[in-house]
A = this chain, B = another copy of it.
Amino acid sequence: MHTIKVNLKNRPYDIITGYAILKGMGKYLRALRLGPDAYIITNKLIKNRYGHILDNSLKAYGFNVKFKLIPDTEKSKSLKIFSDVIKALAAYDRKKLIFLIAFGGGVVGDLTGFISSVYKRGIAYIQIPTTLLAQVDSGIGGKTGIDLECGKNLAGTFYQPQVVFSDTKLLETLKPKQLRDGMSEIIKYGIIKDKNLFRYLERNYRDILNLRRKALESVVSRCSAIKAQVVAQDEREEKGLRTTLNFGHTIGHAIEAAGNYRLYSHGEAVALGMLVACDISRAKGLIPDKLQRRIEILIQNTGLPVRIRNLGLEDIIRAHYRDKKFTGPVNKFVLIKGIGKTKIVRNLPLKLIRAAVRKRLS
C-alpha cells in the first residue's frame, strides 16, 4: 500500500494505492470524520461485483450506506442524469451529514465530483476509481464535469475529493480494451514526465496488460504521484503546468468528437493525438526520428491504434476548432523536446497541424 499526498495549499489529501485495499475503506473513512451517511454513486456491474466489499467495510465502521445506480454508459455524464441524481440525493438526505462516494470509472467520478461540488454549495466526496484510466488519471485532480449537447465537460468545476482509494485488485475484471485505454494515459505520463517510467513500459507493457499484480501497483502509484505533483502546483490549470497533461489531448479530443465518441475510445484517441503531437514535434525539429519511432512502437505494442481510420481530415480539423481549450483565435499545443520534456506552443500554424493529421490517416 502506497500513500501519495496531493499537497494543495488549502486542503491536502491522500491518494492511497494498493492491492485488495477496498476492505479497509470503512476504517480509513472513520478517521476522516465525514458524518454517518455514505451515498455511493455507481453502476450495476460494479455494484454486483464489488459492492458487497464496500458495503461491509463501511457498515462495520458504523456508516449508513445507500447505493445510487446510474447507467453504465458515457451518456450518464448528462444534464438529465445530473438532475435525476441530485434530486434523488436531496430527497434521501435527511440527516444532512451526507458525503458521496464515486465508485466507478471516469463517468461516475466526473459526475459524482460535479454533484458534490454543487450540492448545498459543496459537500465532501471520495473517489474509488475502478478502471485503470480512472486510477491513473481522471480520478485524481478534482476536475469534475458533465457533457452538454454542444461538447464534453462543458459544465463542471475544480473540486477535490477527500481521498482517492485506488484498489488495483478491482482492475482484474477489466476488459483488454479498458486496460489499453488506461495504458494510453500511462504512456503519456512516461513521455511528458518520466524517462524511467517510459523505459519500464517499453520492457514491461505486457505485464500490465496481463494484469500482473506488481506491474499494476507500480504504474498506478507512479502515475498517481506524477499527477498529484502537477495538480498540487497548478490546481486550476492557470500556470501552464497542468496543461502539459493535455499532451495528445488536443487532437485526441478532436478525433474522439469527429468519431462521435463511438469510433474511438478516449484512450485510443489520445494515443493517436500523442502520435500527431510527436509528428508535429519532429516536423519542428524538436525530437529526432528515432524517438518518434520508439513512441510509435510502444503504442503499437500495447494494441492501441497508430493510424486514424474512417475519419476525414476536415472532420478532425473542424472538431479541433470546437474544442473547449481553443480560447479565442489561439490554439494551444503541448509538444515534446524529448522524453520528460514538454513545450507548450500557442498559435501553431494550421498547415503544420493538417500535415501531421493527414500523415496519420490510413
Contacts and interface: CB of A to CB of B under 8 A. Distances in A.
Contact of A154 (B95, B97, B119): B119
B324 A158 contact: no
A80 to B, nearest CB: 8
A118 interface: yes
Interface string A112-136: 0010011111100000000000000
A68 to B, nearest CB: 15
A156 B118 contact: yes
A93 B148 CA distance: 13
A312 interface: no
A250 to B, nearest CB: 14
A35 interface: yes
A22 to B, nearest CB: 27
A91 interface: yes
Contacts of A329: 95
Number of copies: 2
Nearest to A324: B120
A150 B91 contact: yes
B328 A95 contact: yes
Contact of A120 (B35, B93, B117, B154): B154
A324 B97 CA distance: 11
Given A96-B327, A328-B35, A328-B95, A90 B121 contact: no
B120 A90 contact: no
A221 B119 CA distance: 32
Contacts of A328: 35, 95-97
A155 B119 contact: yes
Contacts of A71: none
Contacts of A155: 86, 118-119
Contact of A145 (B121, B145, B149, B154): B121
Given A86-B148, A326-B96, A327-B96, A117 B154 contact: no
B35 A148 contact: no
B150 A121 contact: no
A232 interface: no
- Which of A114, A145, A150: most chain B Cβ within 10 A? A150
Interface string A85-111: 011001101011100000000000000
A98 to B, nearest CB: 10
A311 to B, nearest CB: 23
A157 interface: yes
A143 interface: yes
Interface of A: 35, 79, 83, 86-87, 90-91, 93, 95-97, 114, 117-122, 143, 145, 148-151, 153-158, 324, 326-329
Given A97-B327, A97-B328, 13 more contacts: A79-B79, A79-B87, A83-B83, A86-B154, A87-B148, A87-B150, A90-B154, A96-B324, A96-B328, A118-B118, A118-B156, A120-B156, A157-B157
25 contacts: A79-B79, A79-B83, A79-B86, A83-B83, A86-B154, A86-B155, A87-B148, A87-B150, A90-B148, A90-B149, A90-B151, A91-B149, A96-B324, A97-B327, A114-B118, A118-B155, A119-B154, A119-B155, A121-B145, A121-B156, A121-B157, A121-B158, A122-B157, A122-B158, A157-B157
Closest 10 CB pairs of A and B: A90-B150, A118-B155, A97-B328, A79-B83, A121-B156, A90-B148, A90-B154, A96-B327, A91-B150, A121-B157
